[in-house]
Amino acid sequence: MKKSLSDSPHSLHFTRRQLFSLSSGALILGAGGLTALSVKAQTSAGAAGLADVQALIFDVFGTVVDWRSSIIREGQLLAARKGFQVDWGEFADRWRSGYGPAMNQVRSGELPWTKIDDLHRMILDRLVVEYGMGSLSETELRHFNKAWHRLMPWPDTVAGLNRLKTRYVIATMSNGNVSLLLNMAKNAGLPWDTILSAELSQHYKPDPEAYLKAAELLSLEPGQVMMVAAHPGDLRAAAALGFRTGYVYRPLERGPERLVERNTTDSYDIRAEDFLDLAERLGA
């Protein structure tokens, strides 16, 4: 008989750990009242309702890493060397905003399948002309384009992923190409079990093929996989295919001047404030 991921030693260890957590909740009840036990009970009930979930797959840009602050920092470092006078917040937003239209050029057949690294470079080549950065050498341009490989995680990301990893397989599910995601993980200390990418299906999210390929490669059904993202559109596309959904609120993705509004209209299996909260709600 084929073993499922729930037959792994990690799952047995978690069951004991969960019992210990519930016991701790009872002790807290004696010292501090009803609220502590209520939180533990809700967490246990939430995890039990998702008992079939064996893997979590994560959107990366904005959900796992703070792309905007990271790109601004890379631009500031470049300016310190080259003397450019650039509004790096605006530059970062322009670079990112070119991403959707570039993917649509691939979807429409105007471009063949193209890695995100190469789409980023196409957008960058236009921006350096607009912003008067034409003095950059090819070596400098290649290095700057790989700023997307060096994005830094949100403060809760690494600790939260390590907790979630004790119970679930955790993997990327990003439009970023495999080498980009791999380099990012090594640079930022992201403890993925595996790297999954739209590159593997040659379909960008939110195309169904991207999500279904992830489940196929994990040898799981969509209902055994939770898509975790800060972006409602990503979660809607996954939910339509039968995936479970975890919404993580990232208010600062677009910077402190343009706070992201919390999505309150869509229905998700889990709503979390950050990855540590997600781990708590999933009993990890």
Angle at 136 between CA 129 and CA 130, to 5 degrees: 10
What is the rounded distance in angstroms from the CA atom of residue 240 to the CA atom of residue 22? 34
Q: Which fold has domain 49-64+153-281?
A: Rossmann fold (3.40.50)
Residues above pLDDT 70, as percent of the chain: 83
Span 207-234, mean pLDDT? Answer: 98
Question: Do 49-64+153-281 and 67-150 have matching folds?
Answer: no
> Which residue did the predictor score with more confidence, 26 or 42?
42
Write down the domain spans for the chain. 7-44, 49-64+153-281, 67-150
Dump pLDDT digits (tens) for 108-165: 999 999 999 999 999 999 999 999 999 999 999 999 999 999 999 999 999 999 999 9
Contacts 24+ apart (CB under 8 A), 194-200: 194/169, 195/171, 196/57, 196/171, 196/172, 197/172, 197/173, 198/174, 199/115, 199/116
CATH of domain 67-150: 1.10.150.240
Distances in whole angstroms, Cα of residue 272 to Cα of each of 24, 117, 172, 267: 22, 30, 18, 13
Residue 5 has pLDDT above 90, yes or no: no
Amino acid in the structure at residue 186: K
List Cβ neighbours of 170 (8 Å cut-off, separation of 6 or more).
Answer: 55, 56, 57, 58, 161, 164, 191, 192, 193
Residue 6 has pLDDT above 90, yes or no: no
